[in-house]
Every structure is written in C-alpha cells, then in structure tokens.
C-alpha cells in the first residue's frame, strides 16, 4: 500500500528511474544537485530537501520554507508532493501552497489523487487551511485531482487556474513529529 514519507536515501534507485522518465522535470527539480547516482551526492540532495522545511532567512529571492514528501510503495518512488509554508510573489499566481508530480509510469493509477489527499492534513498541521493549489488551464488530469481533493476554483490568471482546497485536521504523521 503506498504511503507518504519524507525523502530518504533508500529510494535512490527508484527516484533516479523516475527522473529518467521525465528529464525536463528532473532538470527543474534537482537544481544542479550534481550526479545523483553518486550515493554521497544523493544523500546531500535528500538532506537539502529535508532542510528546506526549516524556517529561517530566505535562501534566495522568493524562497519560502517547503516540506517535501515522497509517495512510495515499498522501495518504489511514485510521486513527489511539496507544501510551501507560505505564499509570496509568484506563488500567489503560479505555485500555490501545494505542488505535486507523479512519475510518468505511475500515472493514471490513482497515485496523484491519493498522494494529494494524504498531504492535506500535513498542510493543516503547518497551519495552512485552506491551501492554494494551481494548475495550467489545459492540464485536465491535474484539475481533476484538485477538484476531487475538494478544490474550489477561484479564478484563472493567465494560464493558471487557482483553487482553494480545505486541508482538514492534523494527521497522525504530524502528531508523531510533535
């Protein structure tokens, strides 16, 4: 049964396989991390993802703390879901609080919606309720996920549709971190 977890080095092989399925995504999301097939480089990448959730001074223009989760089944990486703790700048129109990506080979199997629903209580635990979630106007699969997750369309700005999604109550994952 798939579950929501924090990034961990044990998923290196399947994470790299997922990135290989979508090189454009890989380039955007690894931010010049280096050769992730190297165990030490991958460990630093995972550590960076974990540290991004920590509050502190902005690391670059427009930066906000961001908690990353991976949707996995056993040791198989299936999807990434990120919660941006606050909104500023373009996040109000382009990014929103929650972003997600499902590896191409795992699409159309319900993982996007399941991971999205699983992360909503984590957003609530961070004090985000409701959460702003955006998608391109022509991205019908993403729109269906957001709407099935409770999203209510507010408006369209440029190519982006902006939805507000209720996040609900604190999950057991969040309580276990307390």
Contacts of 93 (CB under 8 A, 6+ apart): 134, 157, 158, 160, 162
- Residue 20 pLDDT > 80, yes or no? yes
Q: Which residue has the tokens 């985000």?
A: 128
Q: What is the pLDDT of residues 141-167, one digit of tens each?
A: 999 999 999 999 999 999 999 999 999
Structure tokens at 20: 């290989």
Which is nearest to 86 in space by CA: 112, 65, 57, 100?
Answer: 65
Assign 159 to helix, strand or coil: coil
Q: CATH number of the domain at 116, please.
A: 3.40.630.30
Q: What is the pLDDT of residue 56?
A: 77
Structural domain total, the chain: 1
Q: Are 3 and 72 in contact (CB under 8 A)?
A: yes
More confident position, 57 or 92? 92
Tens digits of residue pLDDT in 102-135: 999 999 999 999 999 999 999 999 999 999 999 9
Kindly tell me if the per-residue pLDDT of 97 is higher than 80.
yes
Domain limits at 28?
Answer: 3-177
Are residues 123 and 98 in contact, defined by beta-carbon separation less than 8 angstroms? yes
Residue 172 has pLDDT above 50, yes or no: no
3 state SS of 24: helix
Residue 173 has pLDDT above 70, yes or no: no
The pLDDT-based confidence of 177 (bands split at 50, 70, 90) is: very low
pLDDT(176) > 80: no
- Cα–Cα nearest to 70, from 132, 27, 21, 11: 11
For every residue of 88-152, DSSP letters joined together read: -GGGGTTTBSEEEEE-GGGTTTTHHHHHHHHHHHHHHHTT--SEEEEEETT-HHHHHHHHHTT-E
């Amino acid at each position: 049964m798939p579950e929501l977890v924090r990034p961990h080095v044990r998923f290196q092989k399947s994470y790299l396989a997922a990135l290989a399925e979508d090189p454009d995504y890989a380039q955007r999301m690894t931010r010049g991390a280096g050769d992730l097939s190297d165990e030490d480089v991958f460990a630093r990448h995972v550590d960076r993802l974990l540290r991004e959730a920590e509050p502190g001074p902005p690391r670059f223009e427009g930066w906000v703390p961001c908690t990353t989760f991976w949707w996995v089944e056993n040791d198989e990486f299936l999807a990434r879901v990120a919660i941006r703790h606050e909104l500023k700048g373009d996040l109000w129109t382009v990014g929103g609080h929650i972003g997600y990506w499902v590896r191409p080979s795992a699409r159309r199997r319900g993982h996007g919606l399941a991971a999205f629903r699983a992360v909503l209580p984590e957003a609530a635990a961070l004090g985000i309720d409701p959460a702003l979630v955006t998608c391109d106007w022509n991205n019908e699969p993403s729109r269906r996920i957001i709407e099935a997750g409770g999203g209510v369309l507010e408006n369209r700005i440029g190519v982006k549709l902006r939805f507000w999604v209720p996040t609900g109550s604190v999950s057991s994952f969040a309580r276990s971190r307390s």
